[in-house]
Amino acid sequence: MVRRGILGLSAAGAAVGGLASAGLGLLAPTSARAQEAGTSRLQTVLERGHLIVGTGSTNPPWHFEDESGTLVGMDIDMARLLARGLFDDPEKVEFVLQGPDARIPSLITEKVDIVCQFMTVTPGRAQQADFTVPYYREGVGVMMMADGDYKTFDDLKAAGSDLTLSALQNVFIEDWAHKELPEARVDQFESPDAALQALNARRVDGYFGDQSAIRWLMQQAPDRYIDAGRGWMPNSYASAVKQGDPIWLNWVNTVYREAMLGVDFDYFAASYQKWFGITLETPKVGFPSEFA
Amino acid sequence: MERGTFLYEVWVARWSLLSGFGITLSASVLTIAIATLLGLILGIGLTYGWRPLRWLIRIYVDALRGIPVLVLILFAYYGLALFKINVPPFWAGVIALAAFSIAHIAETIRGGIESLPQGQTEAAKAIGLQFHQRLAYVIIPLATRRVLPPWMNTCAEIVKNTTLLSIIGVVEFLLSNQQAIARNYLVLQFYLFAAVVYLLINFTISQLGAKLERRYAHFRY
């Protein structure tokens, strides 16, 4: 008796489960998948009618939401440039928001066609994903409170092991800090606002981060922070695609290269001006300078 | 309102915050509903099921309780994709949270049922009630009273665990706050705001729970 009752309940459970999974099927989003063997992602994207880009939403000036709730930033401009090249319409992009640690997993699992998310090119990462040509050379620096104990880079250096820095979590970030400040302690945070708040709350002596982010932060809150005045550790930011698709990679590279040196230079230069305050020099007419 | 003040920034971000709030609420409600239903079934199975069925449920419950929710969420989103099952981030999150909470609720139900005096079941048998009748008219109503407080704890945990969905890009309430912070750097203000909102949600849940407890207070023995 008892057993029959339980079996009945299990059957009901299975039915509920079945219904739930059927519902999930109906609600499935457009996927970056469905690429047959031998076809390039370029073809898949063109057939789908829009590009799927992995990015973040909390890191100005790279990718963040403006007051109207629209994603903006340098990475977003690069993604829209690709959409314009594909469909003649910069709006035909679907952004999949993800944390920095999701960049490679979402390429491998084909959740996205490309990642535009301030991704540093490293030999290790290049074994797992194919990088495009870089579109920015980043460097790191330290930002302190204007009214804090440390005023210059020499002060930081002299502090030795008393110095604590906050940084956005990254596998190599501690090594990078130690190149110039070998004894500093590096506290890693999961989001850039948490790393900044550590400085605001004076839990750390300095914010160790990208120079682009430091420049942006100092623009947003003038007089609140000071730059230690030293940059090091050059590193390249590029987009990445899934490995093994030379046609797609080559197409993206072509678009990026021509943005930096060719037909889309004006668009690219306007983005640089807007997000970094850097004025780019117009490429010289004549012999292609990249081969000079 | 002056630009750069907290109220101004909340007003500017209102749609994004409201949408985040909506996502948090819907993820919580869906997870609670699924976890309660399936948790009840598994909990009863854990108490009265055949031995092999009990073992199976026991393995599920122990395994799921032993895995961090964050790992489950990542698995539901990326792990399933490796098996060509492409679940949208919101649903991946709900599946992972529900899978975790089902295990908790199943144990809660088992504990509630087993804490009832054997005499209740015997009395129900003595008046000729079948198993499903005993369950529906005696066991479940009596156990409900005991199960309600831990069940509400689990509900509050579920609401708080929805913040983990931001890791797979679900713009729930916390991430919508972080997006506003990325623009205006009012870090403390927005985190405090988020804390108050989560507190209000969970306070509402505990009030509802207290009301239910009063309603079932007459089930004494």
pLDDT, residue B42, reads 96
Q: How far is A7 from B53, CA to CA, in rounded Å?
A: 10
Q: Please report whether residue A287 resides in a domain.
A: no
Q: Please report whether residue B192 resides in a domain.
A: no
Mean pLDDT confidence for A68-85: 96
Q: How many domains does chain A have?
A: 2
The percent of residues in chain B predicted with pLDDT above 70, rounded, is: 99
- Average per-residue pLDDT for chain B: 92
Concatenated DSSP letters of B142-201? HHHHHHHHHHHHHHHHHHHHGGGGGGGT---HHHHHHHHHHHH--HHHHHHHHHHHHHHH
Chain A residues whose beta carbon lies within 8 Å of the beta carbon of residue B165? none
Q: Please report whether residue A177 resides in a domain.
A: yes
pLDDT tens digits for range B115-152: 999 898 899 999 999 999 998 999 988 898 889 999 99
Tokens of A172: 């190599």
Is B214 at the interface with chain A, CB within 8 A? no
Q: B128: which residues sit within 8 A by CB, 6+ positions away? A: none
Q: Which domain holds residue B121?
A: 31-170
Whole-number CA gyration radius for chain A: 23
Pair (A65, A150) in one structural domain: no
pTM beyond 0.90: the answer is no
Q: Please report whether residue B161 resides in a domain.
A: yes
Q: Please report whether residue A166 resides in a domain.
A: yes
Strand-strand pairing, A232-241 and A130-131: antiparallel
Number of inter-chain CB pairs under 8 A, A vs B: 115
**CB nearest to A28's CB, from B12, B44, B88:** B88
Pair (A191, A246) in one structural domain: no
Mean pLDDT confidence for B11-24: 94
Chain A residues whose beta carbon lies within 8 Å of the beta carbon of residue B169? 96-99, 102
Pair (A227, A245) in one structural domain: no
B199-214 burial, b for 16+ CB within 10 Å, e for fewer? eebbeebeeebeeeee
Last residue of some domain: A198, A214, A234?
A234
pLDDT tens digits for range A134-169: 999 999 999 999 999 999 999 999 999 999 999 998
pLDDT, residue A17, reads 43
pLDDT tens digits for range B69-125: 999 999 999 988 888 888 899 999 999 999 999 999 999 999 999 999 989 889 999
Give me the residues of A, 68-107, that contact B with CB < 8 A: 69, 96-99, 102, 105-106
pLDDT tens digits for range A114-131: 999 999 999 999 999 999
Is B26 at the interface with chain A, CB within 8 A? no
Report the run of H or E that residue A225 belongs to, with start and end.
strand A225-227
Q: Please report whether residue A218 resides in a domain.
A: yes
Distance from CA of B198 to the nearest CA of A (A): 19
Q: Please report whether residue B11 resides in a domain.
A: no
Q: Please report whether residue B69 resides in a domain.
A: yes
pLDDT, residue B217, reads 77
Chain A residues whose beta carbon lies within 8 Å of the beta carbon of residue B132? 5, 8
Q: Which of A72-81, A227-236, B56-65, B76-85 has the lowest mean pLDDT?
A: B76-85
For residue A207, list its beta bridge partners. Answer: A143, A166
Is B11 at the interface with chain A, CB within 8 A? no
Q: Please report whether residue B19 resides in a domain.
A: no
**Taking each helix axis from N to C terminus, what angle separates A246-261 and A265-276, rounded to the nearest 10 degrees?**
80
Higher pLDDT, A3 or A173: A173
pLDDT tens digits for range B185-204: 888 899 999 999 999 999 99
Pair (A252, A128) in one structural domain: yes
Q: Please report whether residue B23 resides in a domain.
A: no
pLDDT band at A173, cuts 50/70/90?
very high
Pair (A112, A256) in one structural domain: yes
Pair (A61, A90) in one structural domain: yes
**CB nearest to A57's CB, from B12, B87, B179:** B179
Is B3 at the interface with chain A, CB within 8 A? no
pLDDT, residue A250, reads 97
- ipTM of this model? 0.77
List the single residue in B with minimal CA-CA distance to A110.
Answer: B81
Q: Please report whether residue B176 resides in a domain.
A: no
Q: Please report whether residue A12 resides in a domain.
A: no
Pair (A102, A169) in one structural domain: no
Higher pLDDT, B182 or B33: B33
CATH number at residue A79: 3.40.190.10
Mean pLDDT confidence for B51-60: 95
CATH number at residue B128: 1.10.3720.10
Pair (A116, A252) in one structural domain: yes
Q: B123: which residues sit within 8 A by CB, 6+ positions away? A: B138
Q: Do A31 and B86 touch (CB under 8 A)?
A: yes
Concatenated DSSP letters of A253-281? HHHHHHHHHSTTHHHHHHHHHHHH--PPP
pLDDT, residue A28, reads 47
pLDDT band at B184, cuts 50/70/90?
confident
Mean pLDDT confidence for A29-45: 72
Q: Do B185 and A110 touch (CB under 8 A)?
A: no
Q: Do A98 and B34 touch (CB under 8 A)?
A: no
Q: How many domains does chain B have?
A: 1
Q: Please report whether residue A130 resides in a domain.
A: yes
Strand-strand pairing, A63-65 and A71-72: antiparallel
Q: Please report whether residue A220 resides in a domain.
A: yes
Q: Please report whether residue A8 resides in a domain.
A: no
Is A33 at the interface with chain B, CB within 8 A? yes
Pair (A212, A262) in one structural domain: no
Q: Which domain holds residue A271?
A: 41-136+236-278
